[in-house]
A and B are shown apart, each in its own frame.
Chain A
Amino acid sequence: MVDKKVAVYSTPTCPWCKRTKEYLTQKGIAYIEYDVAADKARAREMIEKSKQMGVPVTIIDDQVVVGFNQQQLDKLLS
Chain B
Amino acid sequence: MYDLMIIGGGPAGLAASIYAARKRLKALLISTDIGGQVNRTMGVENYLGYQFIEGPELIDKFQAQVSQYPIDQKVGDKVSQLAKIEGGFEAITDAGNKYQSRVVIFTTGKSPRRLNIPGETEFAGKGVTYCAICDGPIFSGQKVAIVGGGNSALEATLDMVKIAEHVNLISLTPLTGDAILIEKLEEAKNLSLFTEYQSEKIEGRDFVNGIVIKDLKTGQSKRLEVTGVFIEIGLVPNSEAVKGLVELNQWGEIPINGACETKVPGLYAAGDVTDVPEKQIVVAAGEGAKAALQAHRYLQRL
Contacts and interface: CB of A to CB of B under 8 A. Distances in A.
Interface of A: 11-19, 22, 36-37, 43, 47, 51-55, 66, 68-71
B39 interface: yes
Given A70-B75, A71-B75, A13 B133 contact: yes
Given A22-B56, A53-B126, A66-B125, A15 B134 contact: yes
A71 B137 contact: no
Contact of B137 (A13, A19, A52, A69): A13
B42 A11 contact: no
8 pairs of A and B residues whose beta carbons are closest in the complex? A37-B137, A52-B125, A14-B134, A71-B76, A19-B56, A11-B137, A54-B125, A18-B56
B33 interface: yes
B60 interface: yes
Contacts of B75: 70-71
Contacts of B136: 11, 13
Interface in B63-85: 75-76
Interface residues of B, number: 31
A37 B131 CA distance: 15
Main secondary structure of the interface of B (DSSP, over half): mixed
Given A68-B33, A69-B76, A70-B75, A22 B137 contact: no
A51 B76 CA distance: 23
Contacts of B125: 52-54, 66
Contact of B134 (A22, A55, A71): A55
27 contacts: A11-B134, A11-B135, A11-B137, A11-B138, A12-B137, A14-B134, A14-B135, A15-B40, A15-B133, A16-B56, A16-B131, A16-B134, A19-B56, A22-B57, A22-B60, A53-B126, A53-B207, A54-B131, A54-B134, A55-B135, A55-B138, A66-B125, A69-B76, A70-B33, A70-B34, A70-B75, A71-B76
